[in-house]
Chain A
Amino acid sequence: MLTRKQKRSNWILVVIMIAASLFFLFPVIWMLANSFKPDAAITKDMNSFAAFVPPALNGSFFDNYVKILTDTSFVRYMLNTLFYAAVLIVLGVIVNGLAGYALAKIKFPFRERWLMIIMLLMIVPMETIITIHFLFIAKLGLLNTVIGYILPMIVNPFNIFLFRQVFVSLPDDVYEAAQLDRCSPIKYFFTMVLPMSKSVVATVSVFTFLNVWNDYLWPSLVFTSGDLLTAQIGLNAITSNDNTTMGQKLAVITLITVPVIIIYSLFSKQIVEGVVSTGSKEG
């Protein structure tokens, strides 16, 4: 039984935490509230509590958003990024999945040694070799092309390892039964292995999407012209343009965050499990 004193201190903690969370989130609240205002109102409200309150719902409420969606190429950049993410999810699951399966279930020469090498590769920071990637892509004449952007990002030692850890515990008798039915290994992989491992496929896909959506350095190196930019690079192009008003800038950064919030709310279980497991299994 809780004493009255304990109950009261519990509620005091809740109230303090709510205040702390609002203080913590003030940049986000300010961003949302002001993304609906014209610049004159943003400046006028800045000195009062109105800075954190959205304006009254009237005809010009969505003006900043409409302006961004119709007058800039932002929609195009968002669609570009969705396309790159889709391609990289499909290629990444196939290439890293096949490799993970080979390391888990197929006895081929030096398998254990390859596994060791993959684990060692996981600790190499990508920033070390990004200069050479850039040199390769430039020499191949692939700068400012989709292929040049995608090619170095397909293979991922971490994902290979993740697939391997899951595939290793798949039952062998299903494979033997499939072999009796003369099912080819490739067909077996796509019709049996992947469907049996939906959760790891989902995890890898979600993290690939987040990585593509949030990546900044590599796309900023590869893409120089407007048509192919990813959303993050497009964001920089739009906000550094002098004609973009403050309200419009805030509208863009709100828009660019929406897809990620959708992904997080749909897959929050996988993501939290992924975050916690990197902390407790490997950590």
Chain B
Amino acid sequence: MRKKSQSLLGMAFFGPALVLLTIFLFLPMILTLIFSFTDFFALNPSLTHFVGLDNFLQIFQDEEFRKAFINTVCFVIIIVPLQGLGSLGLALLINKVTHCKKYFKVAFFLPVVMSLAVVSTLWMQIYSPEGIINSILENLGISAQPFINSSSQALPSIAIMSAWQGVGYQMIIFLGGLQAINPALYEAADMDHATPWQKFKDITLPELKPLCIFVFITITIGAFRMLVQPMVMTGGGPSHSTYTMVYDIYETGTVNWEIGLASTMAIVFAIFVMILTVIQTIATRDKEGKDVDKKAEKK
């Protein structure tokens, strides 16, 4: 009797979430998977056929999707070292600095507070041909740069801006990690007259390694999902140089209504992101295991 009432109560509490999860997560996921094997066109659903793996072959032959894929990978390659090493460097410096610690934390975190759309709008003014960067360059005797208006500079320009926006977030994570390192390790190193570089190489870096893996993969996943910046700043241009995977999914699905193709792209995209997430989870498991070992050793 008690058991039965418990399961009823459980379903009553879990029910509202379950209904919404079914409609807005399970069903869309199943439909995306099914649609990825069809030529479903939302404006004429009656003409839908099962096309097998055709979509998967088609998108990789499609010039636009290939371009979008390459751009996304390029964006990842530029932003990951920039933002990852930048945030690590800032955290190390702020951890070492003796005064105004709080001010530095706030200053470098400030862009995180601004949304991507806001930052993109602001940097459109900053990057503009008559903008502040170009006038500074002019004072330094360097000729004006086109930035987001040229197909060779647009993607790096957006990557630098994105790293600027996000670097403070990972900086806070690294600062948390640095403060968690046992100070006794450094005291022991001081007794042995270790140089700052030795301390960094032999204590700080190994202690932070799991966190580094976590942070670098987080940035990679975030970079894979990049969409808002080109949507606001360039519309994917000039000549598709800032067109990304998610941008292609969005345009194919919600502008052209080619849900079948968009679903195929979404599946390819999801596979990449989920592989990264799984790697991240495995890397973190390792860390927890190590922590447990250390605690056991202490005892």
Contacts and interface: CB of A to CB of B under 8 A. Distances in A.
Contacts, number: 246
B259 A99 contact: no
A272 B172 contact: yes
Contacts of A257: 113-114, 118
Interface in A1-16: 10-11, 13-14
B73 interface: no
B117 A216 contact: yes
Contact of A157 (B8, B21, B94, B108): B21
Given A46-B130, A131-B262, A102 B253 contact: no
A197 B274 CA distance: 32
B11 interface: yes
A170 B199 CA distance: 42
Nearest to B99: A14
A129 interface: yes
Interface residues of A, number: 81
A270 interface: no
Nearest to A252: B121
Consensus secondary structure, chain A interface:
helix
A246 B124 CA distance: 11
B14 A127 contact: no
A127 B268 CA distance: 12
Taking residues whose C-beta sits less than 8 angstroms from the other chain, chain B's interface range is 35 or more
Interface string A121-141: 101110111111111100000
B176 interface: yes
A213 B117 CA distance: 11
Interface in B177-196: 177, 180
Given A275-B172, A280-B176, A14 B97 contact: yes
B56 interface: no
B68 to A, nearest CB: 13
Contact of B97 (A13, A27, A272): A13
A133 B249 CA distance: 13
Given A18-B100, A102-B10, A217-B250, A276 B173 contact: yes
Interface in A118-165: 121, 123-125, 127-136, 151-152, 154-155, 157, 160
Contact of A127 (B122, B164, B249, B280): B249
26 contacts: A13-B98, A17-B100, A24-B107, A27-B122, A28-B110, A30-B126, A46-B131, A46-B132, A99-B18, A107-B7, A108-B8, A123-B274, A128-B32, A128-B270, A131-B259, A132-B32, A135-B253, A160-B17, A235-B117, A239-B121, A246-B125, A253-B114, A257-B118, A260-B114, A275-B172, A283-B287
Interface of A: 10-11, 13-14, 17-18, 21, 24-28, 30-31, 43, 46-47, 51, 94-96, 98-99, 101-103, 106-109, 111, 114, 121, 123-125, 127-136, 151-152, 154-155, 157, 160, 185, 189, 213-214, 216-217, 220-221, 232, 235-236, 239, 246, 249-250, 253, 256-257, 260-261, 264, 272, 275-276, 278-280, 282-283
Q: Which 9 A-B pairs have the closest CB atoms?
A: A108-B10, A131-B253, A279-B173, A99-B17, A283-B214, A276-B176, A214-B115, A102-B13, A132-B28
Interface of B: 3, 6-11, 13-14, 16-18, 20-21, 23-25, 27-29, 31-32, 35, 42, 93-94, 96-100, 103-104, 107-108, 110-111, 113-118, 121-123, 125-126, 130-132, 135, 138-139, 164, 169, 172-173, 175-177, 180, 210-211, 214-215, 218, 221, 225, 227-228, 231-232, 246, 249-250, 253-254, 259, 262-263, 266-267, 269-270, 273-274, 277-278, 280-281, 284, 287
